[in-house]
Structure 1
Amino acid sequence: MSVGRQLHLAVSLDGFGAHPAAWRRTARTPESAFGSAALHLDAVRRAEEGLLDFVTLDDSRPIHAHRDGRALGRLEAAQVLAVAAAATSRIGLVPTGLTGRLPGEVADRIATLDHLSAGRAGWRPRVDVTPEQLKLALEPEGGPLFVELFDEAEEFTRAVLGYWDSWAPGALLGDLVGGRFVDQALIRPADLDGVHVRATGSAGVPRPPQGRPVTAILGHATIPYRLVARHAEVGFVTPADTAGLLEIREEVEGLRKEAGRAERPFRLFADLNVVLAGSEAAAQERLADLDALDGEPFTSDAAVFAGTPAGLADHLEEWFRDGGADGFRLRPAQLAEDLDALVDGLVPELQRRGLFRTAYTATTLRGHLGLPEAGHGDETGHGHGAGGR
């Protein structure tokens, strides 16, 4: 039987899970997770056993306040995934790049991950805001601060891409008589003098193996969709149902056409929180138990699915065949439990339906996603790299 179009799968790693009460249902303490990468390393290995395309790992400000007054923090995502690169061989590794950081540092960090993983890196540009700014930005959404934050994200993304393009294919760097030697003919400095972001000079890390690590961007509305349209090769969206997914796909494709990128390869991923069990009743019971521990029902920017792996396969198949999704980024409510259910239950069911790979056939993230290697300065309408507005 010939294999038809197959969907892509990714998983979001978020502490003990996407549900705020997930940490209360584990033997470990939050402090132990913050001080060790073991939790996420185990999850990345498990995801690779399931042949998933990639994992994402978020960053945040080093310390931020939870609503119950606890101070929370995260390990730096690119460093954790750099360790995971040594412990895996095929799965893609996608950390966040926060707009509040220097674009040159982010570019070097992600390029280093691409080298360490032999071409398995991606990155997710994300607006870096304080809780106070977030409240102001979303009330109302599309207000001046919201627009300003995404204008900054646009410049930041262009700057990072420009640093990767500053090393042309074949450029070499070495020591010469105790000094630094660069073949200047093969270097094209980044050049961006924006309102929010400035970038100049060349990256400190040579050209990544993929040309550019895969750019993945999350969007919820027109303004972030515009950023997706201009720069993303993978777009994460958060539909409520099939009709909503179709509307989002149409809007994003329209914006991509406006940006002159309609013919460029692009993968649309729908995000979904998942709570899985052997029966729908048991899954609903798990969700209710977590909600009771947290003191309120689980709400998220993405929809919540509570059911069986087979039921989830039905849901994904509908969104894939009828909703226009190319793939899915699943957010386990409890990382260990739900990731095991995805690998041991969902993946075999999708394989049985001919909807998911039975083995890795590529070695790079671009290969998994069917994306070509990025050419030098490969950004329509922006000249080379970060230059040209």
Structure 2
Amino acid sequence: MPDRTVLVTALQGSGWHPAAWRVPGSAAARLTGLRHWRDLIVEQDRLGIDAVTLEDSFAAGPVDASGDLDTRTVVGRLDALLVASAVAPATRSIGLVPTVSVTHTEPFHVATGLQTLDHVSLGRAGWRIQVSPTTREAALFGRRPGGDDATALFAEAREVAEVVSRLWDSWDDDAIIRDVATGRFIDRDRIHGAEFVGAHVSVHGASIVPRSPQGRPPVFSLAHRADAAAFAVDTADVVLVTPGFDGVQARSALALVRDAEQAAGSDLRRPVLADLAVLIASSAAEAADALAALDAAAGTPYAVGSGSDTTVLATTVADLVERIGDLRALGYAGVRLRPLRIPIDSTAIARQLVPALVTAGLRADVASRPTADLRTRLGIAPAVSRYAAARPVSGRSSQEVSA
């Protein structure tokens, strides 16, 4: 587990509450502008957030009871991977973790897009892996019906994750030799085909993108039930769980991942982040009133089982620091916080929560934070290529020796 509390902000639209776009000062008018996302993420970076996840889906937005798009919520979105790549040059240390679905997306495109992000961010890319189960999403592609059961979706997703990993490893770190004397730009012996044939995916050949700074950007996966936990253990480096703040629930959610690791025969204890939706105000009463106003505007409470898949907490910074400390004591590496209102709550996380966590001894000061790649920042071991052990001891290929 990292020796410092990991803090990730989850960015989505005007915020995670469906009525957040109606709050004065919301970002609703700027959601399709790059400047909005750049300014938002640059502030998170400057003030010490470890990473941001960018939500994405093939669905334009939630649907109402009739199955049509719910016009009371934000509808429409920019592509998360493209936004992350566009914002990357303006940021310095923060990890950029777009959500990229594997259900209707070719593994080759997933792999090369994320490798490109890792290059342009100088080693700060991550990937939140996601499946797309709905018939509405499937209809956009027209290749197969939607509504696959979870077992089939996860089986396909495991294969895609394996292929993406193979493509990420397909170029050795030093495959580009730029040997002017012999006229060879690359050494073919240092490029390897993915060569995978599965029940859902068949891929032959290598990536077109040279190996990126991290080798394999860290994969994030949400594990809110047993089958999702098993999938996360098979595919991910960082696991997100939705425990709430009750001690029994928090222990149970963490145990779900540890039990899945044991069942898989894995010796690796992955960093587990508590995934929580938050509204932050100066007092508990003010926070409760703000959430109540949002719920009234939406016409229904935003809570577990009613729009949210995780605990919704309207609270103060001091209370949130205490709760994060409790989670940390239980064995959590940190938290991913979903701000109900953007920019109000995302700003509070960066400007108020970060220094409060430093004061509480749960994080280091921004000036002393690591500026290395995202894997290092998350406490994850470097990614060693599966082909590294096959290289000659000298590190030189047979073509180089004979040249």
Give the TM interval when normalised to the shorter protein. Answer: 0.7 to 0.9
- TM alignment of 1:19-30, pairs within 5 A: 19-27=17-25, 30=28
Aligned match of 2:83 in 67, 80, 103? 80
> Is 1:336 matched up with 2:347?
no
Q: 2:249 aligns with which of 235, 244, 248?
A: 244
1:63 aligns with 2:63: no
Q: Which among 44, 48, 52 is matched to residue 47 of structure 1? A: 44
Aligned to 1:137: none
User: Could you tell me how far 1:109 is from its partner in structure 2?
Assistant: 0.5
* Deviation string, structure 1 residues 174-228 (Cα, Å, up to 9, x no partner): 799xx99642211121122122222221011110101100111111111110111
Aligned with residue 203 of structure 2, among 182, 194, 199: 199
Q: Secondary structure at the match of 1:86?
A: helix
1:5-20 matched pairs, under 5 angstroms: 5-20=3-18
Q: Secondary structure at the match of 1:363?
A: coil
1:271 aligns with 2:275: yes
Match of 1:95 in 2: 98
> Which residue number in structure 1 is paired with residue 362 of structure 2?
355
Deviation of the 1:343 alpha carbon: 1.8
Q: Counterparts of 2:335 and 2:26 in 1: how far apart (Å)? A: 29
Does the 8 Å CA contact 1:167/1:187 hold for their aligned counterparts?
A: yes
Q: 1:221 to 1:169 in 2, by over 3 A?
A: same
Deviation at 1:232, TM superposition (A): 1.2
Q: Which amino acid in the other structure matches residue 13 of structure 2?
A: G
Given that 1:245 and 1:325 are in contact with CA atoms closer than 8 Å, whether structure 2 keeps it comes out as no
CA contact (8 A) 2:241 2:272 kept: yes
Q: 1:216-295 alignment to 2 at 5 Å?
A: 216-240=220-244, 241-262=246-267, 264=268, 266-295=270-299
The farther-off stretch of 271-280 and 122-131 is 122-131
TM-score, length-scaled by structure 1? 0.87
* Distance in 1 separating the partners of 2:16 and 2:319: 20
Structure 1 gap segments, 5+ residues each: 135-142, 379-389
* 1:331 shift after superposition: 0.3
Distance 1:250 1:35, change over 3 A: closer
SS, match of residue 19 in structure 1:
coil
The answer to whether the 8 Å contact 1:60/1:73 transfers is: no
Q: Distance in 1 between matches of 2:285 and 2:86?
A: 39
Using the TM superposition, give the Cα deviation of residue 19 of structure 1 relative to its aligned residue in structure 2, in angstroms.
Answer: 0.4
Query: 1:293, 1:332 → 2: CA distance?
Result: 17
By how many angstroms is 1:34 displaced?
A: 4.2
Deviations along 1:249-287, one digit per CA (max 9) or x if unpaired, are 22312222333332x352100101001100000000110
- Do 1:119 and 1:209's aligned partners in 2 also have CA atoms closer than 8 Å? yes
Q: Alignment partner of 1:56: what SS?
A: strand
Aligned length: 363
Q: Is the 8 A contact 1:155 1:197 kept in 2?
A: yes
Q: Does 1:185 align with 2:186?
A: no
The correspondence for 1:117, drawn from 97, 109, 121, is: 121
For the 8 Å contact 1:66–1:72, the answer to whether it is kept is no
Structure 2 letter corresponding to 1:54? A
- Helix, strand or coil for the counterpart of 2:204? strand
Q: Structure 1 pair 90/213, CA: closer, same or farther in 2 (3 Å)? A: same
Alignment partner of 1:335: what SS?
A: coil
The residue type paired with residue 224 of structure 1 is A
Deviation at 1:361, TM superposition (A): 2.1
User: Which amino acid is 2:49 matched to?
Assistant: L
Residue 313 of structure 2 corresponds to residue 305 of structure 1:
yes
Runs ≥4 residues deviating over 3 A: 26-30, 62-66, 68-71, 131-134, 173-176, 179-182
- 2:85 touches 2:120 (CA, 8 Å); kept in 1? yes
For 1:136-172, what per-residue CA distance to the aligned partner results, in whole angstroms no more than 9, with x for missing partners? xxxxxxx971111111111111111111011122112
Tell me, in whole angstroms, the C-alpha distance in 1 between the residues paired with 2:356 and 2:179. 54
Shift of 1:28: 6.1
Conservation of the 8 A alpha-carbon contact between 1:310 and 1:345: no
Partner of residue 334, structure 2: 327
The residue that corresponds to 2:391 in the other structure is: none
The alignment's TM-score, normalised by the length of structure 2, stands at 0.84
Q: Indicate if the aligned counterparts of 2:26 and 2:343 stay in contact, CA closer than 8 A.
A: no
